Amino acid sequence: MIILPLSLLAEPVCIEGISNPSDDPYLEYAVLRAVERALIESGYEVSCGEGSSSSSLTIVSFQEVPIAYTPEQRINLYNLTLRLKVIIGDKVFTVGATVPYSLPSGSSGDIPRRRAIDDLTDKIYSYILQNLRR
Please, which residues have CB within 8 angstroms of residue 95's CB and are 6 or more apart in sequence?
Answer: 83, 84, 86, 124, 127, 128, 131
- Please say whether the beta carbons of 102 and 129 come within 8 A: no
> Which of 114, 112, 105 lies closest to 75 in space, CA to CA?
105
Domains of the chain (ranges; CATH) run 6-132 (3.30.160.150)
What span, in angstroms and rounded, lies between the C-alpha atoms of 108 and 117?
16
How do residues 18-31 score in pLDDT, each as one tens digit?
A: 999 988 899 999 99
Three-point CA angle 1, 13, 4, nearest 5°: 10
> What's the pTM value of the predicted model, to 2 decimals?
0.84
Indicate the SS3 state at residue 46.
strand
pLDDT tops 90 at residue 107: no
- pLDDT, residue 109, reads 66
